[in-house]
Amino acid sequence: MTATAAAHPLRLVGDVRRPRQVDHLPDPSDLTVDDELPGGCYPLHLASHLTEHLRWMRRCGRGRRTIRARRRAVVRLAEALGTDPAGATAEQLDAWQDQLPTLRQVRWATAMIRPYYAWLHAKGLRADNPATLLPMPPAPTRLPRPMTEPDLARAIVEAPARLLPWLLLGGWVGLRAGEIAGLDREHFSVDPNGQVWASVIGKGDKQRNVPVPGWLWADLLPYLPPGGPCFRRVRGPGKGRWRVTGQHVSQYCNTYLRNIGLPDTFHALRHRLATIVLEETGDLRLVQDLLGHAQLSTTALYTRVRPTRMARAIAALPPPPTRPNRGLRAVDAGELIPMAQSS
């Protein structure tokens, strides 16, 4: 083991695995009567067969956040309808969609409840599927908006101690807010060459290992506890015991960025990292693995942020051959006439 590796009490990369939860209580949204399904603050009795459906999702390997989101969406549908959603008609679902305030909410909520009705129909619990014809608005394609280097430098210099580790992990490791919230001290490891790695649990509970720069690890280490969750809540009933949530990380950082006059969000740090790595390597697959994108098409959006390779390709095109006595001359606007003109 190298001197760098010996300097940090970490396990070798070959032994990286998700550790057991250490010395903290579960998130309140995970507390449930039977303590087995995520999202216990959303009562299961409001929707028939919802418990069975969520257990089926778990057997299918769906992540906890996905199960929690499905539970929340179906329960909110029940509250909006004022009746058991398992017996809802197509007309009731149309009216429910109409009262959602934005197309984004229509898209998210519809995507969440459609599988519930498809499952009810496939199980023979309903003779029809009332959600079959519910429209699904397409998601707008927006380019990532990376934070500029001057803005990032200002955000780092002025950051309070509570937020600094989050900004560093977002800007130089590319972690999502939820991934930062889920970090345990045991998730960090070092390989025989002294490279520090973070074992991250991303969307869909998919694990990936991402490199941590040596200078960042040195700056981060004083903020980390000896074990257990890296970042715990500092106020409220779970103070010092419950870990922060992804919502805590993003909201606190977004509020801080607004307060210092920056237009960026926390996610812009991730966009910045992806854009720079893609420019340096030109390797979409590498950036996809680094960010934990399920679809390469999501990563491909970063090629449109700063298409420097495209600009270089255009600049490399040979100019038209020059010909004697065929120089270009300025044309007055009066000489520009329609190609087809009646006589």
256 Cβ contact partners less than 8 Å away, ≥ 6 residues apart: 155, 159, 160, 163
The question of whether 121 is a catalytic residue gets the answer no
Q: State whether the Cα torsion 225-227-233-235 is positive or negative.
A: negative
Q: Which of 203, 208, 241, 248 is catalytic?
A: 203
Encoded amino acid at 8, one letter: H
The question of whether 176 is a catalytic residue gets the answer yes
Q: State whether the Cα torsion 212-214-218-219 is positive or negative.
A: negative
Q: Which of 302, 309, 323, 329 is catalytic?
A: 302
Q: Which of 68, 126, 176, 272 is catalytic?
A: 176
The question of whether 270 is a catalytic residue gets the answer yes
The question of whether 203 is a catalytic residue gets the answer yes
Q: Which of 53, 267, 271, 272 is catalytic?
A: 267
Q: Which of 70, 270, 271, 272 is catalytic?
A: 270
CB 100 within 8 A of CB 137: no
Per DSSP bridges, beta strands 207-212 and 196-201 are antiparallel
Which of 292, 86, 309, 333 lies closest to 202, judged by CA?
A: 292
Q: Which residues are catalytically annotated? A: 176, 203, 267, 270, 293, 302
